């Protein structure tokens, strides 16, 4: 087999609350409220393949940037953490636009579900779009994978998350409507918006506009008010954009 014809096919796909790139955290573990599932493809539903996995608290997921893979790759990119105005080499970043569109994510393993022909891993803290193809899964090994003295370059520490998130009266009412289906929705929205998902150039230019992001089947509409985020509305299924 030639290395230039290396076979690579999905072993599983992600079921995630994130339905579009905008609003999705830029790294795993930043939003612990995000819970998703890894559904194994037919042919990989053998429970023997995950035997012993329950001994590990966290997993490495190797996945494909399927939403941007057809956009090609770039030798240099502009990381949002640097304001979107400083160029670095693609291999000095975790940009989607890579020669091989592969990503790496650490998630917390919550449960292993095996029913009939269904094999599912329930995970927490993910930052992956719904439908993301998974090409490999490996256990996270603390003594080898956690290096406290390692240098983090321009991303030496997690972004700040102290931003205040407020809800209008209308948004509060809509939260109550959604509470049965999504009991942790308020905490989830707050954790996401504290990360400030705006494009770097919007932050840099202090643009004033309303944004929308899809979570599950909900359209969350919000805007900045000084250093606070205000959730204007939570549009339910069937909304008109």
| pLDDT single digits (tens) 76-101 | 998 888 888 899 999 999 999 999 99
Residue 241: predicted pLDDT: 44
Last residue of a domain, one of 154, 189, 213: 154
Q: The CATH number of the domain where 181 resides is what?
A: 3.30.2310
**What region does 90 belong to: left with phi over 0, alpha with psi -120 to 50, or beta?**
alpha
CA distance 208 to 223: 7
Domain extent, residue 90, equals 3-154
CA distance 219 to 233: 8
Q: How many degrees, rounded to 5, is the angle at CA 126 between CA 180 and CA 110?
A: 70
41 & 68 share domain: yes
**Residue 32 pLDDT level (bands cut at 50, 70, 90):** very high
- Output DSSP code: residue 202: H
pLDDT in tens, 191-225: 999 988 888 888 888 888 999 999 999 999 999 99
179 & 112 share domain: no
**Residue 171 pLDDT level (bands cut at 50, 70, 90):** very high
Q: Are strands 218-225 and 228-235 parallel, antiparallel or unpaired?
A: antiparallel
97 & 177 share domain: no
Strands of 17-101, DSSP E: 35-40, 58-64, 76-77, 88-89
143 & 187 share domain: no
In the chain, how many domains are there? 2
Asked if the structure places residue 218 within a domain, the reply is yes
Helix (H) or strand (E) holding 12: strand 12-15
201 & 143 share domain: no
149 & 172 share domain: no
Residue 3: predicted pLDDT: 65
Last residue of a domain, one of 126, 154, 182: 154
Residue 102: predicted pLDDT: 95
Last residue of a domain, one of 112, 127, 154: 154
Asked if the structure places residue 240 within a domain, the reply is no
């Amino acid at each position: 087999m030639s290395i230039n014809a290396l076979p690579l096919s999905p072993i599983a796909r992600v079921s995630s609350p994130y339905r579009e790139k905008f609003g999705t955290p830029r790294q795993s573990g930043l939003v612990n409220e995000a819970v998703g599932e890894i559904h194994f493809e037919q042919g990989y539903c053998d429970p023997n393949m995950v035997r012993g996995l329950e001994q590990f608290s966290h997993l490495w997921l190797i996945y494909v940037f399927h939403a941007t893979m057809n956009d090609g790759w770039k030798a240099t990119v502009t990381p949002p953490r640097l304001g979107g105005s400083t160029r670095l080499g693609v291999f000095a970043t975790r940009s989607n636009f890579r020669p091989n569109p592969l990503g790496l994510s650490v998630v917390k393993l919550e449960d292993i579900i095996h029913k009939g022909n269904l094999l599912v891993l329930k995970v927490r803290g993910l930052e992956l779009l719904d439908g993301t193809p998974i090409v490999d899964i490996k256990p996270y090994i603390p003594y080898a994978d956690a290096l406290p003295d390692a240098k983090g370059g321009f991303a030496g520490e997690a972004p700040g998350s102290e931003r205040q998130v407020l809800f209008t009266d209308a948004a509060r009412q809509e939260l109550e409507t959604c509470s049965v289906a999504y009991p942790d929705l308020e905490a989830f929205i707050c954790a996401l918006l504290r990360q400030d998902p705006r494009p770097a150039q919007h932050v840099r230019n202090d643009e004033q506009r309303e944004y929308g992001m899809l979570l599950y089947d909900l359209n969350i509409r919000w805007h900045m008010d000084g250093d606070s985020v205000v959730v204007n509305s939570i549009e339910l299924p069937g909304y008109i954009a």
